[in-house]
Structure 1
Amino acid sequence: MTLLTSDAKGVYVISVTPFADSGAIDFDSLDRVVDFYFDKGADGLTILGMMGEAQKLTQAESRAVAERVIKRASGKPVVVGVSAPGLAAIGELGRAVMDMGAAGCMVTTPGSLRTDPQIHTYFAQVAHTLGADVPIVLQDFPLSTGIHISDEVLGRIIDDIPQVVMLKHEDWPGLAKITRLRKAEADGRRRISILCGNGGVFLPEEMARGADGAMTGFGYPEMLADVVRLSSVGDMDRAQDIFDAHLPLVRYEQQPGAGLAVRKYVLAKRGAITSAALRAPGASLAPEATAEIERLLARQEKRLKELN
């Protein structure tokens, strides 16, 4: 079992959960999409996140998905989202997936938190519930949770809770937060890994600010891998060119309520999953949206050929 550490780098793709048109989990497509992500350059996977429709799964289904993905990954790191309203559910699922061989657990802030001490106490409780040997990814996603974690509170969490080894950075605007975290580390604070989300829409800038990679999803995960790899060796112009070629589709995926349907459409078109279905309740694409995506894909292909 490969455990997540504060030195983790690269791309941990947020995996979709494939469903049949009936709404049942499509485990054959789950196997296929895991292979697809790694074939396209992923260093690890993150499952049961918000874009994995985790909130629509039963506890038994969550365990079944985790077991299948961890087995299919064949030793490559898999982070499992275990966020839940209560600590008991977090502990139950977290311990189960760690026993299966997960690399760590991702947890975000519940909407009930109101003060800085509450935020700090919550993650201390999560760490105690999961256990001292479980690496934690702290998902900082105020656009979804409504909870803003200040630099000061985040610093105290890093100082006081060693199980927190990674920040999934999704603050927006949040580039300055990355800069301040890296400065604090240069001044002596413990290092943590920073992987960035938000669909990769700021990925080149985040890498330039000191991020270690991406933890997000996209219909073309090879773009994420290329941008992270090129940025890591200082070839920012080439990284930006590749990013810019995909940017119209990245932008289109950012539509609230429709982005996952777009992503699943592209993944199905590429053969990674059989059906683009979302489990109810979930949006479906109108014919006009499908036509727009096809136009974006054609233009993207043309631009990538020009770059090559």
Structure 2
Amino acid sequence: MSFGIETKGVYPIAATPFRPDMSVDWDSLDRLTDFYQDAGATGITILGILGEAGKLEPEESREIAARVIARARVPVVVGVSNPSFAAMGRLAREVMDLGAAGVMIAGHAGLRSDEQIAAHFRNAVDAIGQDTPWALQDYPLTLSVVLSVPMIGRIMADHPSCVMLKAEDWPQLEKLSAIRAAQASGGMRPFSILTANGGMFLDFEPERGSDGAMTGYAFPDALVEMDRLHREGQRDAAHDLFDAHLPLIRMEQQQGVGLAVRKYLLMRRGAIACDIQRRPGTALTPRVREEIDYLLARLARKDPRAAI
């Protein structure tokens, strides 16, 4: 399935559902895969930070990938980031053999200088294979790796197999414009840009040059509609829909508790059976759950998808 420099649309970042005993909930994983596809997703991204990839055993990661890829009707991108290049390479080879469309790679917190960053991605590409398509994850708020626009250009120039930038820096909009300007002037080669940050800036990102979204907001169907409205030039309608969802998007983007909010919403929407996270994880208090339910009820007045 296609995953390349012209990729557009919405690639939800999938959660990983667990049972109360902390084992992987395979039935919910199947239901969640269908949920994203039925929402109109262009593709699905699994085993990312949102997917609690760092809490999984290697065998679980492979089995999750195998299960989603076998069920999916859309391209599946698999997060393979790991400080161990051997582990990264093994998972990348396994999922590509299973039929993944590509992989996603980020830096790690120990990278400081541009030369260290360049060496990391050079070693990563050697590990996954020069012909494996991959997305570069730019997420300094969590990963502490700062990728300047020139550094992104350098990585893209050095590695033709990098077909996408997953952009989730703050401030985001000016960075998007700078990248697209560099491409327009011939100073940077073409590649797809999908944005994240829970959709916090999806109201203006398409106008700044994004090709869509790769994020985990629990209403992927709303993200798909926002993207469509933007592509059709219905600016006010896109902003109206964004404004209606913004309180829940903001609730999900809280540091430390965001994943708990997102899993609770996915559970309320029937996509997963249980909102538990593997340790370490954060549980919502009854007060927070009540506040989320209140926001859902308010959203339902404008978007019937929230009438749960």
Report if TM-score (shorter chain) is over 0.5.
yes
1:37 maps to 2:51: no
Alignment-derived partner of residue 301 in structure 2: 302
- Residues 33-87 of structure 1, C-alpha deviation per residue, up to 9 Å, x if partnerless? 100111111110000000101111010000010000000103x100000001111
Root mean square deviation, CA, Å? 1.0
**Alignment partner of 1:24: what SS?**
coil
Find the aligned partners of 1:281 and 1:185 in 2 and give their Cα distance: 41
In structure 1, the gaps of 5 or more residues are none
Match of 2:9 in 1: 10
**How far apart, in 1, do the equivalents of 2:48 and 2:158 lie?**
26
1:84 aligns with 2:82: yes
Shift of 1:296: 0.2
Match of 1:101 in 2: 99
Q: Distance in 1 between matches of 2:70 and 2:303?
A: 34
Structure 2: gaps (5+ residues)? none
Report how many residues are paired: 303
Tell me, in whole angstroms, the C-alpha distance in 2 between the residues paired with 1:145 and 1:285.
24
Match of 1:118 among 113, 116, 119: 116
SS at match of 1:15: coil
**2:231, 2:120 → 1: CA distance?**
34
**CA positional deviation for 1:166:** 0.3
Q: Secondary structure at the match of 2:204?
A: helix
Match of 1:137 in 2: 135
Q: Which amino acid aligns with 1:100?
A: L
Amino acid across the alignment from 2:62: R
Which stretch has the larger CA shift, 226-235 or 14-23?
226-235
CA displacement at 1:220 relative to structure 2? 0.9
Q: Is the 8 A contact 1:95 1:130 kept in 2?
A: yes
1:19–1:25 Cα contact (<8 Å) kept: yes
Are 2:285 and 1:279 equivalent residues in the alignment? Answer: no
State the partner residue of 1:150. 148
User: Identity of aligned pairs, percent?
Assistant: 51
Alignment of 1:140-219 (within 5 A): 140-188=138-186, 189-219=188-218
Match of residue 235 from structure 1: 234
CA contact (8 A) 1:3 1:135 kept: no
Shift of 1:21: 0.8
Matched-pair contact (CA < 8 Å) for 1:158–1:164: yes
**Aligned equivalents of 1:203, 1:120: Cα separation in 2:** 29
TM-score by length of 1: 0.96
**What secondary structure is seen at the aligned counterpart in 2 of 1:51?**
coil
What is the alpha-carbon distance in structure 2 between the residues aligned to residue 238 and residue 103 of structure 1?
33
**Residues 81-122 of structure 1, C-alpha deviations (whole Å, 9 max, x = no match):** 000111111101011000000011101011111111111221
Q: With structure 2 as the length reference, what TM-score do the two structures score?
A: 0.96
1:215-226 to 2 correspondences below 5 Å: 215-226=214-225
* DSSP 3-state at the match of 2:12: strand
**1:3 Cα shift?**
4.2
**Which segments of structure 1 move beyond 6 Å, counting only runs of 4 or more?**
none
1:146 and 1:5 mapped to 2: Cα distance? 27
Amino acid at match of 1:214: A
Who is 1:52 aligned against? 51
1:232, CA displacement in angstroms? 1.4
Q: Displacement of 1:303 after TM fit?
A: 2.4
